[in-house]
Structure 1
């Protein structure tokens, strides 16, 4: 190696340093990254490390987990390769001694729950078991455990070349693992990527070292060492045009020899405006042109199969195409022979690119046909080549592509699945199959949050004048609901699709699943591929229920219940549960609390989308808290695997439970995270739903201006669209904000906009939830009879039997409106002694405050002090400032001056403050991430944690908040 003293010292220190670490080498093609990787591998081997090498392959860049399987292959337990990543053969087990050492029977074979979970994550990723794609976090943890077990025997170095070609799923896991290797002694990850090709490593936040061109002295030394007989003029020409790129320095003299007519000043690499790597390709193109057709055909087949620039030192997971009769390519320096294996490999990835670019379309198709036969046992690889080889409609090829899409979707490869399904539609032999496959592609694109593509595909799926197939209906409805908030037309379309399926008049359209869009405030559909008619029907029914819930209108719900009733046994018990609990718990919720709690006791055996739907039912029945730990465990998985809608719904549910339990700071952080994700993804419905929840939170905390601003934004967007779910929340926010400010008349007007006193408007889910607001507003405005009538209506409607929260507020409302003091005391005692009363601290504190005021006025201050003090303490702790002030005023009237603790100073972490200051200067999350070497998502997470600490909700308020914070910190 010539030069690179600094890089060599850094790599030596990296390899020999104790503990785990990761490092990315970044530079242009031909600059010598692979040579530096060779050096690191040799140093590690000399120090006794187990070295595992892998290479990213452009032909595999969209095969999910192809790269990860290549990296982990030598470490996987015996037999784990069977049926694994496409291309692996059942029972294949190379006799590699270093691999055998890593494949100790104890590695991953323990029956412990932790090892079982890790093994399940790897099995799901590599296609060895059915199930949803594993989240990056779960798979990353499994990989870390596998690496740690291997490193417990001897230190381990993972060397990944051409990381820019690694598939996205594998690169995300490598990034996750690399960021955590500092806590994994003995494991190191070294990655080389090209600087001119975008990759997931660009945002992986791993330490990097740039690899630039050689210095002038080193470039001259390298050239003289390999081409000592060059004349002075030619030598100067090469040095000038190579610009320190080692590959160019080595290849240009040979290129010159083939061009005897060159002259000084001639640009041997083409126009200066073209990047140097592309210009080097022209050198290889000249050599390729001199080969005969048979050799070029072999080279093309090898290039399209991903024959790597360097095959690596260990066994690989796939059987590559073996090029034959290509001695001429070796002789002219296009191929090299690997000394360790004797295999042929392309001298450089630029050679491979040149081979493909020089081939005609027909030549590439012929090579793809050969490779489709080579990989006939590997559905995904075979599909890749069949898709490229076939021109005319062919149902056999279309079916193979559909099967590959099913496999890719299951393992997190939604992008490739969309591509395969779209190609399968193009190759379909009849209009029905074409429409079905385009609908499937639209659905998967929607699940992967590629809304624009999903809309285009859905439109293409519906032939003019023909009925929409179920998959297209799902895709279109998903977009219309979540992006645009269209509940009216969407409800009609989905209801009609359900009736067509019920009557057997619709095409039997499948819907590739995986973690998809959340159906309303519920989670996505689950099974892993084109599914049976009854499964499509279940999905349509779930979506119909979700649309009905958002519409929040009696007309929509009545039609939905009619459709459900007409399904008979086709409607599942879960569908009936959702239809009852999501619609109107006052009229239909009786008897469902126990089934929901029973189902919630076995969450680990349920698919995530079923859990999320169940959690929505639990929310309506006020028994959500037991499900929240599971939601908190899986929400990052949903977000990491691209199921953004499902993840946002989970965040909503977590936020609602935090609000109910009085964990308002945490709820605000969760809400801002959900709002950032919704806004970023263009989910108008979810963004305004999040604003509605944040408005509720601001209202109970006494932040009236913020609550009203959010309320106005939600109402202006939702009311014209007829989204009753959100307009009801907006009215509830108006009532709570007015109550907080002591404007009881306005509060009463808002409350009766939700439901009339003494009744609970059908299908208005806020009617029962705002019971206390209406009663309190009516009492304070002298409408005692209406307040009493409403409390009695709650009792007579059986609200105490429906949910613990409704029991608490019903007894509280009855106590507040009772004529007799003894009756009031008895009902108050029933409220505060309810087993679940402490789970709803805000409601309990309001009831205590109201009862304390009543007792003080009837019996004097001494009798009310304990009750009022309990209310004040809770309201202080929650941060319900207006109610807390009222409680303290009542305590003073009762002869007690309560102690009020000074507010705690704002505490931003160093990173939060740094990011907040950059955001205050107007930088976007991406621009901030570029400066602080974090992903835009991580930047967003820091901001949503900083906003509530600063008491703000928008970026526009950052500058003033930070200035105020600085002033407080410097004040004497």
Structure 2
């Protein structure tokens, strides 16, 4: 007994028919007659939608079932030849004619051209055909398959319709296809039909990946868009769109070129039109904006009449807003494909005149109208490239700069523009392969690397592809110092930016000093934002209030900024001085716009900055999620220089969560990668992770050792880079816990001398807390109180929790038990929310030392007395202690005493936190049992 599912073999037979499982199941049901579908089926669909492929799968399935297959296909040139289609179908059965009734046999021979005689009636031929098929099926079940039935001659179509309606319950099956735009079979009656729809975008992607796994992403996206789910187009178009020929999305032509097969499929109606109509269609196809229709001098006075003709021929659709749309993007492509090159150039020249108010469109039409090199157009394209970059479209920027280079008559200009395109491709798009190709082309024209644009592109490629820090630094500094160099401001800005990234990665004075010297040399040509970056990244501890104010103003402009590169550049400066929280929305926008812009490098940079922002905000799940996505992108596109930071971000979050093994896992590989490349900033990040992990597990000796590896000379203004600042509080805490009191005091004094409290409220909090760690008694308490008041409670939650814990520990040692419980319990609440397991465990141990049992410390539902709950609720509503006392007939002092007990129970430190704490307590309490 056959227990297979009905559609299984059909899907095996048509395994490459992506997205057609339902259609194959129906075909199987017809062939097996499992659903009583009367043995016939007609498939309707547009050209190329996959009807023929489904018939091929049906034939394979039938043969697998041991059935005989008869096949025929309608042909336009045979449409006037009576019974031509029937001849194709029945020719293999000619030997069986002799077994038919003589009258039927004679009718078939005459109809099919095998004999002489009077033309038989169609009813007789139809009956004879049915008899012949039933006779053949006695020996072996059969399937009659007819493709493109809309082009059958009338006689064959009538006969086939007759047969298809009468095979129910027999061993004969009839399968046909008809184009949606063609005439269906006559008198279809009760013949089953199925419309084959286009594939959806996901299915289209799957089909492309199955057939062209190495197709570039930007080409794949464009093909999916243009093909609109047409399988034939999806399979054919990649042959014309190689990545080598079209390296970026915007390098792709406005109208995709067609293969010969696609051209034949989509051009039948176009070639029959008058030349004037075709000229109008060409203008519309190349325009895309619809503006050409409003220019009578371009489209001519008879445009409306020609549009009517094109609409009548089902080439275009004119909607009620008088907008013209081609019925299929590939019809538009066919219009262009059929035009000669000189016709296309004339059309582009005419369209350039329509777009004087749109410089981008005008420039590209002028470029497409150019027959050879043209410096004027090349310059326009260079300006368009910069505009594209500023509006957040790096792919268009690369395309425009590349085309500008190709149109440049002067070899030096061509080299500089190719190098500029290479820089954009490497620095923003994340397309290192394209960057390398463009840079090679530029080098062939600039063999001594004299161009600063070429040097910047080369340095970017070296930096991002293999982090060759030393070579990249040498190439850029040589070009920037060249006495004959006369670079543009844009080229200097790009070079100084890349040089800052190189110096940051190296982190040594040997690179920072030349960087600062070159910044000073070109200071008058650098924008304020880049000057602020040079001041911040070289030594954030010494950043001036003026620079911070300028940065804050620049951050405020990012709400409407479109250029992802600008957001990233500001983001890296903000990261050094605790302002990333103000950039979260712009950074999320860069990340979310990845598919639209194709700015892979910018997106990966944004993910890195989001990792840092999420860590400081205590959203460690986000940190790890962003890092995972960033790693996938960086590794896919070959950006090895990004990989280490993303591993570091995951490790830092793991250390905070107490996941010691996960935190340690990538660190040795990071060191092995970084040290040979002289990327000395990477080991400092490794030591930071190890410092935090050691503090979490209470190993303060190891923490001190690792922290001093970052800052071996202590904390001094001349050496306090960002990472040294990041471990400043860790260094003080580790020194205090290991009895290094003098060193701890020295670190705090250095922090005060540097004045780092001006950087942010986080540093105001941490410096005050560090002062509390090295002080005693009321002085220490005052420092901790000042620390907690320095920053809003929602900012820097992890650091705030650590300050609360340190304050609570101090109070416990000084036997201020109740006050100690308030601070420690508040710290425990923070750590539990963050899932900072090691610090939560330390807080519980400290609570236990104050006399709170471990069971009480672990309890999620702290019990309040009825009076405490009433007082807390009234206080949360905003009433003063005096007002509460008057309502409850208590003194204000008694109310204050009750609130003093309530605060540690609810894990809050002030009245402002009561409402949220009481709400959470109500939500967490289980409902009463019946």
Shorter-chain TM range is: 0.5 to 0.7
1:256 — aligned with what? none
Alignment of 1:908-947 (within 5 A): none
Q: Among residues 633, 648, 653, which one is paired with 1:692 in the alignment?
A: 648
Go from structure 1 to structure 2 and tell me whether the alpha carbon gap of 1:371 and 1:383 turns closer, same or farther (over 3 Å shift): farther
Q: Among residues 539, 545, 555, which one is paired with 1:584 in the alignment?
A: 539
Alignment of 1:596-635 (within 5 A): 596-604=551-559, 608=563, 609-633=565-589, 635=591
Q: Among residues 428, 431, 451, which one is paired with 1:469 in the alignment?
A: 451
2:363 is equivalent to residue 457 of structure 1: no
2:515 — aligned with what? 560
1:373 — aligned with what? 349
Counterpart contact for 1:297–1:367, Cα < 8 Å: no
Q: Among residues 472, 488, 497, which one is paired with 1:490 in the alignment?
A: 472
1:485-527 deviation per Cα after TM superposition (whole angstroms, max 9, x unaligned): 2333223333344445xx6x3365xxxxxxxxxxxxxxxxxxx
Q: Number of residue pairs matched?
A: 641
**d(CA) in 2 for partners of 1:696, 1:830:** 28
Counterpart contact for 1:758–1:791, Cα < 8 Å: no
Counterpart contact for 2:392–2:597, Cα < 8 Å: yes
Q: Among residues 841, 844, 864, which one is paired with 1:885 in the alignment?
A: 841
Counterpart contact for 2:627–2:649, Cα < 8 Å: yes
**d(CA) in 2 for partners of 1:287, 1:600:** 56
**d(CA) in 1 for partners of 2:503, 2:552:** 24
1:830 — aligned with what? 786
Provide the secondary structure at the position in 2 that maps to 1:375. helix
**d(CA) in 2 for partners of 1:459, 1:474:** 13
- CA drift of 1:283 comes to 8.9
The answer to which of 822-831 and 888-897 deviates more is 822-831
Counterpart contact for 2:503–2:512, Cα < 8 Å: yes
**d(CA) in 1 for partners of 2:513, 2:849:** 52
1:922 — aligned with what? none
- CA drift of 1:884 comes to 0.9
Provide the secondary structure at the position in 1 that maps to 2:511. helix
Unaligned runs of at least 5 residues, structure 2: 1-17, 21-44, 60-69, 90-144, 150-176, 185-234, 238-257, 862-930
Q: Among residues 749, 756, 763, which one is paired with 2:705 in the alignment?
A: 749
- CA drift of 1:439 comes to 1.8
Counterpart contact for 1:365–1:388, Cα < 8 Å: no
Counterpart contact for 1:307–1:345, Cα < 8 Å: no
Which of the pair has the greater relative contact order for Cα pairs under 8 Å at 6+ separation? 1
What's the TM-score, normalizing by structure 2?
A: 0.58
**d(CA) in 2 for partners of 1:594, 1:26:** 57
1:624-677 deviation per Cα after TM superposition (whole angstroms, max 9, x unaligned): 333434444554236632223333333333332332232333433333343333
1:98 — aligned with what? none
1:127-151 deviation per Cα after TM superposition (whole angstroms, max 9, x unaligned): xxxxxxxxxxxxxxxxxxxxxxxxx
**d(CA) in 1 for partners of 2:624, 2:741:** 35
2:198 is equivalent to residue 242 of structure 1: no
Q: Among residues 677, 688, 695, which one is paired with 1:739 in the alignment?
A: 695
Alignment of 1:413-432 (within 5 A): 415=395, 418-419=398-399, 421-432=401-412
Alignment of 1:756-795 (within 5 A): 756=712, 758-760=714-716, 762=719, 764-795=721-752
- CA drift of 1:431 comes to 1.2
Go from structure 1 to structure 2 and tell me whether the alpha carbon gap of 1:635 and 1:323 turns closer, same or farther (over 3 Å shift): same
Counterpart contact for 1:334–1:347, Cα < 8 Å: no
Go from structure 1 to structure 2 and tell me whether the alpha carbon gap of 1:340 and 1:376 turns closer, same or farther (over 3 Å shift): closer
2:485 is equivalent to residue 506 of structure 1: yes
2:506 — aligned with what? 551
Unaligned runs of at least 5 residues, structure 1: 1-24, 28-190, 197-209, 252-272, 509-532, 904-972
Provide the secondary structure at the position in 2 that maps to 1:582. helix
1:98-121 deviation per Cα after TM superposition (whole angstroms, max 9, x unaligned): xxxxxxxxxxxxxxxxxxxxxxxx
Counterpart contact for 2:267–2:334, Cα < 8 Å: yes
Compute the RMSD of aligned alpha carbons: 5.2
Whichever structure has more helix as a proportion of its residues is 2
Question: Which structure would you say has the larger Rg?
Answer: 2
What's the TM-score, normalizing by structure 1?
A: 0.56
1:896-950 deviation per Cα after TM superposition (whole angstroms, max 9, x unaligned): 02443679xxxxxxxxxxxxxxxxxxxxxxxxxxxxxxxxxxxxxxxxxxxxxxx
Go from structure 1 to structure 2 and tell me whether the alpha carbon gap of 1:227 and 1:695 turns closer, same or farther (over 3 Å shift): same
1:257-278 deviation per Cα after TM superposition (whole angstroms, max 9, x unaligned): xxxxxxxxxxxxxxxx999996
1:55-75 deviation per Cα after TM superposition (whole angstroms, max 9, x unaligned): xxxxxxxxxxxxxxxxxxxxx
1:576-635 deviation per Cα after TM superposition (whole angstroms, max 9, x unaligned): 321121221223456543443344445447665445433433332224333434444554
- CA drift of 1:482 comes to 3.0
- CA drift of 1:468 comes to 3.9
1:853 — aligned with what? 809
1:479 — aligned with what? 461
- CA drift of 1:888 comes to 0.6
Provide the secondary structure at the position in 2 that maps to 1:833. helix
